[in-house]
Structure 1
Amino acid sequence: MDLNTLREERQKWLTWKNIKPYQDAIKALPVFKDISVSLGDTVEITIPNLSLAEAKQIESAARLMLPWRKGPFKINDLFIDSEWQSQIKYNLLEPHFDLKDKIVGDIGCNNGYYLFRMLTHQPKRLVGFDPSAIYYSQFQLLDHFIRSEIVYELLGVEHVEFYEHKFDILFCLGVLYHRADPVGMLKSLFKGLNKGGELILDTFMIDGDDEMCLTPRDRYSKIPNIYFVPTVKALKNWCYRAGFESVEVLETMVTESNEQRKTEWVNTQSLEDFLDPNDPTKTVEGYPAPKRVYIKAIKK
């Protein structure tokens, strides 16, 4: 697979009429000096001596790029209150990984929130994969100030096995249920790892002791591209079939409104709209409400 040709083609996405305004707004931003960055639960960017006009310019650029799914972020007094309180997931996973001097990839990295947080662990290299020009633009806006060395690829999970190098750790958070061939996707991730490499993954799950999965006929939580929602045992079997020799369940957790909710930075529906108004344990379609399982799989 010729990834360089694919990269050139996807760079053209940034000239699309709905994306070009984002790119123009980023290019028009001033270059600031002496920026300080705090990579905690809220990724905070502090620009000294920021004028009112400059602050309004930054806010206008950020608001162009709605919806902001992952975060939160803060640029001086501007608080980008994202749909997902992503620190909940990150803080749950952080005790289970060691990134120092590792080559790390984040598949479906969105605007880079998790990648920015990972900088504190001093990895050797950070690469994000996401074929979304909107999320890439959000990342560019943030990285205009953070000035990281994160590599953001407008590529998908299907390209990982063909990438120019292998990874020591791959994160794949909230992607598996969007794939019609979950075992094939896990095989691609397996091939993208070095020997001894780790995959940290989360996906929707259903309760049960059987090796089975839910296959929605049309939509799940109003999401059309949800194909399979497995039990934990079924997910483990998928991982074994993909080649992983060890699968550890880190946590299971029901998605609640403190983690996912509508804010002024989200111009679409959110969790409250996806659940049965008379029974929040079910989706509007009558399926079990979203619950996630977090795993670590090892390539030996």
Structure 2
Amino acid sequence: MDIEKIKKERQSWLKWKNIAPLREKLKNLPNIEVIEIEFKDIIKIKGEATKEQFLFIKEFALELRPWRKGPFDVFGVFINSEWRSYIKYNLLKPHFNLKEKSVADIGCNNGYYMFRMLEESPKEIVGFDPSPLFKTQFDFINFYIKSDIKYELLGVEHLPFYGKKFDVIFCLGVLYHRSDPIAMLKWLKQGLNENGEVFLDTFYIEGDEPIALCPEKTYSKIPNVHFVPTIKALQNWCKKAGFEYFEILAKKPTTFEEQRKTEWILGESLENFLDKENPDLTVEGYPAPKRVYVKLRKER
């Protein structure tokens, strides 16, 4: 696999007709002195913006919808994302040490988690996500943060061919989108240094048997969900991929506190994905979304 050729080809995606105008506007972002940046639950970029600068930033941020991950506050423009991503990040934070580590975030979206990781003093951070819109959101935020985070328009399937390995890999909310989950887990393993760790989260269903739900068309109105395993099935997948160490960090249902519709997304959110008569079920009649968070290692 020629990664450099793929990367070059995907740079052309930034010229798609729906993306190109956003990339042009990105070049005209106002230069505002950044006084302080807070990498807390709300990533805040502080400075004195004029009224015209504030309106430009707000208008541009709205053009970049939907904002899935966040929230962000850019010179007073509050980007109230669909997901309160700090809930997931704060759940995982006690379980990792990124100091001087080489870190990858697979399916990094607009980079919220990567920006939060900056305070952990990693050696480097590389994000993988094939979405040119999310890349543009990242570039917008990073124009003011000015981090050294590297953003690649690549997917998890490119990880084994990337040319370098990582000490810590985050892969959050990706596994259920893959039609061959064991192959994906193998790719993650191939992307690790010796004694490296993977932090993974995915949908799961209750049950003691090693089985998986295979939605007919959609799951919670999501069209590309292939398998929702029991935790035992997930563990078996990980073993088949070569991960002997499997630690459950947390299990929790998706709540309206964590995911909800705001003006910063276009379309529906969790409230539209669940059965109105029984919120324990999706609109399709499947068990409502629950997530399990696990840590994997190549060796015990």
Q: TM-score, normalised by structure 2?
A: 0.98
**For residue 294 of structure 1, what is the amino acid of its counterpart?**
Y
**For residue 298 of structure 2, what is the amino acid of its counterpart?**
K
- The separation in 1 between residues aligned to 2:205 and 2:222, in whole angstroms, is 16
* SS of residue matched to 1:140: helix
- The separation in 2 between residues aligned to 1:47 and 1:152, in whole angstroms, is 25
Aligned to 1:29: 29
Q: Is contact 2:199-2:296 (8 Å) kept?
A: yes
Q: Residues 12-55 of structure 1: CA distance to partner in whole angstroms, max 9, x if unpaired?
A: 1111110012111110112233442100000000123x111111
Q: Is contact 1:171-1:199 (8 Å) kept?
A: yes
TM-align CA RMSD:
0.7
Aligned to 1:19: 19
Pairs within 5 Å for 1:221-300: 221-300=220-299
Aligned to 2:206: 207
- The separation in 1 between residues aligned to 2:226 and 2:76, in whole angstroms, is 41
Q: Is contact 1:105-1:128 (8 Å) kept?
A: yes
**For residue 30 of structure 1, what is the amino acid of its counterpart?**
P
* SS of residue matched to 1:45: strand
* SS of residue matched to 1:249: strand
- The separation in 2 between residues aligned to 1:284 and 1:30, in whole angstroms, is 44
Q: Is contact 1:35-1:145 (8 Å) kept?
A: no
What is the Cα deviation at residue 246 of structure 1? 0.4
Q: Residues 27-86 of structure 1: CA distance to partner in whole angstroms, max 9, x if unpaired?
A: 0112233442100000000123x1111111111111111100000000122100000000
Q: Is contact 2:254-2:289 (8 Å) kept?
A: yes
Q: Residues 198-217 of structure 1: CA distance to partner in whole angstroms, max 9, x if unpaired?
A: 00000000001111110111
Aligned to 2:8: 8
- The separation in 2 between residues aligned to 1:168 and 1:34, in whole angstroms, is 32
- The separation in 1 between residues aligned to 2:213 and 2:55, in whole angstroms, is 47
Asked if residue 99 in structure 1 is aligned to residue 102 in structure 2, the reply is no
- The separation in 2 between residues aligned to 1:289 and 1:245, in whole angstroms, is 29
- The separation in 2 between residues aligned to 1:253 and 1:164, in whole angstroms, is 36
Pairs within 5 Å for 1:123-162: 123-162=122-161
Q: Residues 245-285 of structure 1: CA distance to partner in whole angstroms, max 9, x if unpaired?
A: 10000000000100000000011100000000000000000
Asked if residue 184 in structure 1 is aligned to residue 180 in structure 2, the reply is no
**For residue 205 of structure 1, what is the amino acid of its counterpart?**
Y
Q: Which runs of 5+ in 2 are unaligned?
A: none
- The separation in 1 between residues aligned to 2:171 and 2:33, in whole angstroms, is 34
- The separation in 2 between residues aligned to 1:33 and 1:252, in whole angstroms, is 42
Q: Is contact 2:243-2:297 (8 Å) kept?
A: yes
Asked if residue 164 in structure 1 is aligned to residue 163 in structure 2, the reply is yes
**For residue 25 of structure 1, what is the amino acid of its counterpart?**
K
- The separation in 2 between residues aligned to 1:264 and 1:208, in whole angstroms, is 37
- The separation in 2 between residues aligned to 1:152 and 1:297, in whole angstroms, is 24
* SS of residue matched to 2:30: coil
- The separation in 2 between residues aligned to 1:34 and 1:269, in whole angstroms, is 34
Structure 1 segments, 4+ long, off by >2 Å, are 30-35
Percent of pairs with identical residues: 55
Q: Is contact 1:107-1:130 (8 Å) kept?
A: yes
Q: Is contact 2:200-2:295 (8 Å) kept?
A: yes
What is the Cα deviation at residue 223 of structure 1? 0.8
Q: TM-score, normalised by structure 1?
A: 0.98
- The separation in 2 between residues aligned to 1:104 and 1:74, in whole angstroms, is 25
- The separation in 2 between residues aligned to 1:134 and 1:168, in whole angstroms, is 28
Q: Is contact 2:34-2:144 (8 Å) kept?
A: no
- The separation in 1 between residues aligned to 2:149 and 2:275, in whole angstroms, is 40
Q: Residues 162-193 of structure 1: CA distance to partner in whole angstroms, max 9, x if unpaired?
A: 11210000000000000000000000000000
- The separation in 2 between residues aligned to 1:194 and 1:76, in whole angstroms, is 39
Pairs within 5 Å for 1:64-79: 64-79=63-78
Corresponding pairs, count: 299
